[in-house]
Amino acid sequence: MDNRPIGFLDSGVGGLTVVRQLFRQLPSEEVVYIGDTKRMPYGPRPAEEILAYTWEMVNFLMSKNVKMICFACNTATAIALDEIRNELGIPVIGVILPGASAAIQKTKTGHIGIIGTQATVNSDSYRKAVHFKSPDVEVISQTCSPFVPLVESGDFDNQSAYEIVKKELELFVGKVDTLILGCTHYPLLAQHIQKVMGPEVKLVDSGAETVRDISVLLNYFKLNRKAGLMSSNNQFYTTGSALHFKEIAEKWLGKEIDVETVNIESYSEKKILIATRNQGKVNEFRDMFTTLGYEIESLFDYPDLPDVEETGSTFEENARLKAETISKLTGEIVISDDSGLCVDLLGGLPGIWSHRFSGTDATDIKNNVKLLHELASTELTPKRRAAHFHCTLVAARPNHESLVVEADWQGRIANRIQGENGFGYDPLFLVGDSDKSAAEISQDEKNRISHRGQALKKLMQVFPDWAKD
């Protein structure tokens, strides 16, 4: 169960055709929608520009803590889906494969037509998807450039719009029995398209097909919203006129909505500098923050930065020193953690001295050996070996108040080193009441339950709003 919203993106209002189907098929799910109407149409633009704009929309949606993203735009799907899907830690779905699969099922003659934007048609994505599943099907593709501006104008329920559609579809009449509407704007012209093509031709609305796949993914990843909840906090954003977007959207969705104009260009590059040279920590942060669409850098990427001496007397003081100093030097958002192992019998030691517990030339092995030596008299009394990992995270950015979160991970100290997957004191730290060390659990499990994982979850709840203020 996951009550977070689903994110939808499109170059304009066309993706609302997918949202409308979602409201019909999955009425309990909530939506965050971004339409880049200021820079539409995407179709004639070069691929590099489409990719950059799509990343901005994705990063904007990630700042809204969505659980899944639907590319409700065929052009963005064709150009950007594969790259972005590989970078994000949440499910990402496009509209091309569901549409192609549906067309294969509907055609009786093996003749399929595809209409789309210039970028979608030039990418050849639909033909490849069709032929991957059914190589003998004949495919005819054509760009219908006037369709997107016609829909975005809101003036398409008239004879003039019909004549435009009729002219654009001349190539297909009598030659195909199935026509893929390869742009999510096009279902808004479905009445005209059907009239031109004839009642015997099957129109494939890729958006409607995509929602069926969304339902499958929600079930597979256990992301469904709690049963019985009704969608009540849908959010609609546009980069253009909110009033114009609202008029078209309400007409198409059949309900009143609130629309906000936003500037998403600031979301073009999202980067966080993690103030550490510990690769284990870097990997943990990367696993967590890529789900918000951030690129993670570390001090390995800034070899000329001076070391920040940890002179604080608490975890928070040390974390602040690192984060705020490095943020001032680089101008970047910086996250620093100060974390350590606190053993009850040792009065909370090693605590803030965890990394140098065995001296100035400390290593993980030396620290573990010293800890076992300090607790040697308690090997037969496990309750006296109670301990916890503590983590304080500080996020800093220039000219802003820093963000601070904390978390603990309870456990006890083992009598010997166990496991090889962790670092630091992980091989000695028995998780909770179990006999399994932190070095014996999977990285995914560790990310979920560790002190740093818990602190990151807390941070991620407040970080998006803090980062955009």
Per residue in 11-23, pLDDT tens?
999 899 899 999 9
Q: What is the pLDDT of residue 170?
A: 92
Does the annotation count 338 as an active-site position? yes
**451 belongs to an annotated ligand binding site:** yes
Q: What is the pLDDT of residue 93?
A: 96
Which residues make Cβ contacts (< 8 Å) with residue 255, sequence separation at least 6?
A: none
Q: How far is CA 460 from CA 52, 62, 399, in A?
A: 24, 11, 21
**419 belongs to an annotated ligand binding site:** no
Instruction: Please give the structure tokens belonging to residue 191.
Output: 């009445």
Q: How far apart are CA 208 and CA 303, in angstroms?
A: 51
Distance of CA 25 to the CA centre of its chain: 23
**426 belongs to an annotated ligand binding site:** yes
**Concatenated DSSP letters for 360-379?**
TT--HHHHHHHHHHHTGGGT
Query: Per the residue annotation, which of 36, 70, 73, 337 is the catalytic one?
Result: 73
Q: How far is CA 332 from CA 4, 224, 274, 335, in A?
A: 28, 36, 10, 10
**116 belongs to an annotated ligand binding site:** no
**186 belongs to an annotated ligand binding site:** no
Does the annotation count 183 as an active-site position? yes
Instruction: Please give the structure tokens belonging to residue 135.
Output: 């190589």
Which residues make Cβ contacts (< 8 Å) with residue 38, sequence separation at least 6?
A: 238, 239, 240
Distance of CA 18 to the CA centre of its chain: 19
Query: Per the residue annotation, which of 36, 205, 338, 364 is the catalytic one?
Result: 338
- Percent of the chain exceeding pLDDT 90 equals 67
**424 belongs to an annotated ligand binding site:** yes
Q: What is the pLDDT of residue 310?
A: 86
Q: How far apart are CA 211 and CA 102, in angstroms?
A: 12
Q: What is the pLDDT of residue 305?
A: 84
pLDDT tens digits along 59-112:
888 878 899 999 999 899 999 999 899 878 789 999 999 999 999 999 999 999
Q: How far apart are CA 457 and CA 407, in angstroms?
A: 10
> What's the CA dihedral at 356, 358, 362, 367 to 10 degrees?
-90
Does the annotation count 144 as an active-site position? no
Q: What is the pLDDT of residue 422?
A: 83
For residues 108 and 177, the answer to whether their CB atoms sit within 8 Å is yes
**411 belongs to an annotated ligand binding site:** no
**277 belongs to an annotated ligand binding site:** yes
Q: How far apart are CA 296 and CA 450, in angstroms?
A: 20
- Which neighbouring-strand residues pair with 361? none
pTM: 0.60
Instruction: Please give the structure tokens belonging to residue 468.
Output: 């955009």
Query: Per the residue annotation, which of 36, 70, 144, 183 is the catalytic one?
Result: 183
| Structural domains of the chain, ranges and CATH numbers in brackets | 6-93+209-267 (3.40.50.1860), 97-205 (3.40.50.1860), 273-468 (3.90.950.10)
Q: What is the pLDDT of residue 109?
A: 96
**74 belongs to an annotated ligand binding site:** yes
For residues 92 and 223, the answer to whether their CB atoms sit within 8 Å is no
Instruction: Please give the structure tokens belonging to residue 373.
Output: 């030596």
**39 belongs to an annotated ligand binding site:** no
**309 belongs to an annotated ligand binding site:** yes
Q: Which of 442, 72, 82, 30 is closest to 218 using CA atoms?
A: 30
Q: How far is CA 49 from CA 79, 88, 185, 293, 394, in A?
A: 10, 20, 20, 18, 35
For residues 368 and 306, the answer to whether their CB atoms sit within 8 Å is no
Coil vs helix vs strand at 129: helix
Residues of the chain with confidence (pLDDT) below 50: none
φ, ψ for residue 64, nearest 5 deg: -95, 10
pLDDT tens digits along 227-264:
777 667 899 999 999 999 999 899 889 999 999 999 88
**Concatenated DSSP letters for 253-300?**
HSS---EEE---GGGS--EEEE----HHHHHHHHHHHGGGTPEEEEGG
Q: Taken in order 450, 452, 453, 454, is the CA torsion positive or negative?
A: positive
Q: How far apart are CA 120 and CA 169, in angstroms?
A: 17
**354 belongs to an annotated ligand binding site:** no
φ, ψ for residue 99, nearest 5 deg: -65, -45
φ, ψ for residue 235, nearest 5 deg: -120, 130
